[in-house]
Amino acid sequence: MSSRETAMDLAVRRPGRSPSAGRRSLVFALGCVGVLALGVVLTRTVENPYIFFAGYVVIQYVAVATGWNVLGGYAGYINFGPTAFYGVGVYTAAFLVKAMGAPLPVSIAAAGAAGALLGLAMGWMTLRVQGVYFAIATIALVVMAETVVHNIDYLGGASGLALMPPQAPAWAGGQPQFMLMVMLAIAVAFVAAARWIEISAMGRALRALKASEVAAECAGVPTFRLKLIACAISGAMLAIAGAPYVYYASFIEPGTAFSLALSLNAIAMPLIGGKRSWVGPVLGALLLATVQQAASVTISSELNILVVGVVLIAFVAVAPDGIVGIVEKLTGRRGA
């Protein structure tokens, strides 16, 4: 956002829909369909199953980074515990699979509800005071969620849980192919939702809130309610991204469901890509996750975390608007 654009401008201005905005939405929708179609074609033609496992991880990061960015990027409230929400999604699905062999759509819906509720509860307790308290509470939330799972024997406690999730439908051509398609559909839906939030009145209000909370409140933006909604949406998205993991891996444990690497990546990807628009998290996730998948054979996971950490510090210090911000500065124009 340009510094000349004040919170008041953003909250009050009602730009009419220009014809070019409609055209852009059409191009975006066609792009989404194109990506999905490409996914179908690839799952039919590629033989090597490793591609599907690696692809699942990369696309999952697109979903996680996009979900995180709804709160972290648009509202400017940093959630340091995305794995708490992701893990709640994983364990909600695990519970349903173990209890009743729930099919994937049921698990996804339940995980979304659980994540939204957790987001609402966290937000209600911490978002009324300064944002820094919310951030701190989310760090502690991961420890809390892990403690709860450790204490529930039904969910396998600390040692993990092996499950027999329902098999993929026959038309999908196998479990890895099916899971890749599911994750791709989720990611595309998330990106579309994020773009919609961005161009809707809600996105404008969120930008106003981010620029100045007091000014936004004065201009009639219901800031607390808006923050709660953003928190619930973001929480639901992160939890939904976790639910299919149970069907993908059939073995879960607290160490992977609440993994540090996932938390770090969920934060680093939007910040490196650029957190102001939906493009940033997608770009950051594709870039970082692909490099990590390719490099995981050659470098240790510690070195991996170290490199991401250093790159994150560099971006925060030098280019707070990420790659998208750098590109916009170079080409001298501001994006949508």
Partner 1 sequence: MILELLANAVSTGVLLGCIYAALALGLAVSFGLLHIPNIAHPVFVVTGAFAATVFNAMGWDPLLVSLPLALVFYGAGIAFFEFYSRIYEKRGEADTMQALTLFFGVSLVIETVLVMKFGADQRSTDVDYVGQSLVLGPVVMPYRLLIPALVAPVMVTALWLYLKFTYAGIAIRAVAHDERALSVSGINPGWIKRHAFGLAAATAAISGAALVIVGPIDPFAGRMQIGRAFAVVILAGMGSIPGTLAAGILIGVTEALVGAFGSPSWAPAVAFTMLLATLAFKPSGLFGASR
Asked whether position 147 contacts partner 1 by CB under 8 A, the answer is yes
Fill in the amino acid letter for 185: A
Which of the stretches 47-55, 99-107, 120-128, 182-190 binds partner 1 when contact is defined by CB under 8 A?
120-128
Which of the stretches 16-24, 59-67, 131-139, 281-289 binds partner 1 when contact is defined by CB under 8 A?
131-139
The minimum distance between CB 23 and partner 1, in angstroms, equals 34
The minimum distance between CB 133 and partner 1, in angstroms, equals 5
Range 148-167, binding partner 1 (CB under 8 A): 148, 150-151
Which of the stretches 101-109, 121-129, 199-207, 224-232 binds partner 1 when contact is defined by CB under 8 A?
121-129
**Taking a C-beta distance cutoff of 8 angstroms, is the pair 126, 72 a contact?**
no
Asked whether position 106 contacts partner 1 by CB under 8 A, the answer is no
**Taking a C-beta distance cutoff of 8 angstroms, is the pair 204, 10 a contact?**
yes
**Longest C-alpha distance within the chain, in Å?**
59
Nearest to 22 by CA among 316, 307, 325, 336: 336
Asked whether position 262 contacts partner 1 by CB under 8 A, the answer is no
Range 6-35, binding partner 1 (CB under 8 A): none
Distance CA 70, CA 78 (A): 10
Which of the stretches 56-64, 73-81, 171-179, 221-229 binds partner 1 when contact is defined by CB under 8 A?
73-81
Angle at 181 between CA 265 and CA 96, to 5 degrees: 80
Nearest to 63 by CA among 190, 243, 163: 190
Nearest to 52 by CA among 299, 304, 300, 248: 248
Distance CA 166, CA 305 (A): 34
Cβ closest to partner 1, residue 117 vs residue 139: 139
Asked whether position 129 contacts partner 1 by CB under 8 A, the answer is yes
The minimum distance between CB 143 and partner 1, in angstroms, equals 6
Asked whether position 141 contacts partner 1 by CB under 8 A, the answer is yes
Cβ closest to partner 1, residue 243 vs residue 267: 267
Asked whether position 296 contacts partner 1 by CB under 8 A, the answer is no
The minimum distance between CB 319 and partner 1, in angstroms, equals 11
How far, CA to CA in Å, does 181 sit from each of 41, 92, 220, 234? 10, 21, 42, 22
- The beta strand positions in the chain, using DSSP E, are 161-162, 251-252
Tell me, residue by residue from 266 to 285, as one string, x for binding to partner 1 by CB under 8 A and - for no binding.
Answer: -x---x--------------
Distance CA 265, CA 270 (A): 9
**Taking a C-beta distance cutoff of 8 angstroms, is the pair 41, 184 a contact?**
no
Angle, to 10 degrees, between the axis of helix 301-318 and the axis of helix 279-295?
150
Q: Which residues bind partner 1 (CB under 8 A)?
A: 76-78, 80, 124-126, 128-133, 135-137, 139-141, 143-144, 147-148, 150-151, 260, 264, 267, 271, 302-303, 305-306, 308-310, 312-313, 316-317, 320
